């Protein structure tokens, strides 16, 4: 049984189709998938009230299948200009990867011009919407131990992408909105729509920049050169955000405070790194440990790629 068969036969409520996905996806046959009609019904015709995010390739909706299973439905935008080959590559990548800190793929829909991915739905949204968002979920307590677990979980998931699978996977868009939280606040790295496989005998890939400003490594933003160390840079920014409880870029603040990474380096040079730590953290805060996390974040954001650590 192929990896496609194994993963797609786990879906609940999917409509099995025995023909090929479509002419644009040669070589992929006899796999179970969702029909567009089923996903249209699950999302109430993709109603805006069910929209839960905007990924790199298009909007994401919450849906409910016939059996009551909640799913996240990622509709790949026509404007993304993602071709069938790219879509197939993404499916192959996702279907063959399984880790506690990565989102689970339920299935897909390829029907006419529609290309849709279906994932498990995660109850607590993303770090961008909760810890860093203006409308924080009051029920979620981001104490220090919770933040430590989130940082470690993201690191483990990213390390698995970099070194636990072959060929290696470079995510290319590690950021707070791509870190989802389940009911136990276990972090899950999402949105492999921007990921690209990195062959083991190639050190870097020059490609169009697909990441998010504020998280981009300089070599990626300027030259379009992406390596695993580009992900490490983005992880470093994320780490500092989690410890500080604020976004890396905030134009509402005074000019000198708008870029968190620059401010963190400044405090580090002054020997006042503890000033960056989120002041709302309670009694379980370990200041020394928080400062160590910040130092790791800064090390990850070194301009020279060779000076950045590996995720593993």
In the 3-class helix/strand/coil scheme, how is 249-298 assigned residue by residue?
Answer: ECCCCCHHHCEHHHHHHHHHHCCCHHHHCCCCCCCCCCHHHHHHHHHHHH
Residue 283: both structure tokens together: 């009694």
Burial of 232 per CB tally in 10 Å (0-12, 13-18, 19+): buried
- Cβ neighbours of residue 63 closer than 8 Å, sequence gap 6 or more: 39, 42, 43, 50, 70, 71, 72, 73, 118, 121
Is residue 90 within 8 Å of residue 12, measured between CB atoms? no
- The answer to whether the CB of 220 falls within 8 A of the CB of 211 is yes
Catalytic residue selected from 163, 173, 231, 283: 173
Known catalytic residue at 173: yes
- Which residues participate in catalysis according to the annotation? 173
């Amino acid at each position: 049984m192929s990896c496609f068969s194994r993963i797609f036969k786990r879906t609940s409520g999917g409509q099995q189709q025995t023909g090929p996905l479509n002419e644009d996806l040669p070589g992929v046959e006899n796999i179970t998938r969702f029909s567009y009609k089923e996903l249209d019904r699950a999302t109430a015709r993709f109603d805006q009230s069910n929209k839960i995010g905007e990924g790199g390739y298009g909007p994401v909706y919450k849906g409910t299948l016939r059996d009551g299973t909640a799913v996240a439905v990622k509709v790949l935008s026509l404007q993304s200009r993602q071709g069938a080959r790219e879509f197939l590559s993404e499916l192959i990548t996702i279907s063959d990867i399984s880790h506690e800190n990565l989102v689970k793929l339920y299935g897909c829909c390829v029907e006419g011009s529609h290309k849709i991915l279906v994932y498990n739905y995660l109850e607590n949204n993303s770090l961008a919407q909760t810890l860093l968002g203006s409308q924080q979920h009051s029920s979620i307590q981001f104490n220090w131990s919770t933040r430590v677990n989130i940082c470690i979980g993201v690191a483990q998931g990213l390390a698995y992408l970099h070194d636990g699978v072959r060929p290696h996977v470079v995510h290319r868009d590690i950021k707070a909105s791509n870190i989802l939280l389940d009911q136990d606040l276990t972090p899950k790295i999402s949105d492999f729509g921007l990921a690209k496989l990195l062959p083991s005998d190639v050190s870097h890939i020059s490609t169009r920049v697909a990441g998010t400003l504020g998280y981009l490594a300089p070599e990626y933003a300027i030259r379009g050169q992406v390596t695993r160390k580009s992900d490490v840079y983005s992880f470093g920014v994320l780490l500092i955000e989690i410890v500080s409880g604020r976004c890396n870029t905030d134009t509402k603040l005074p000019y000198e405070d708008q870029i968190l990474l620059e401010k963190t380096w400044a405090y580090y040079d002054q020997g006042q790194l503890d000033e960056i730590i989120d002041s709302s953290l309670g009694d379980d805060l370990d200041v020394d440990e928080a400062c160590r996390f910040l130092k790791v974040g800064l090390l990850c954001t070194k301009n020279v790629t060779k000076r950045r650590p590996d995720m593993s």
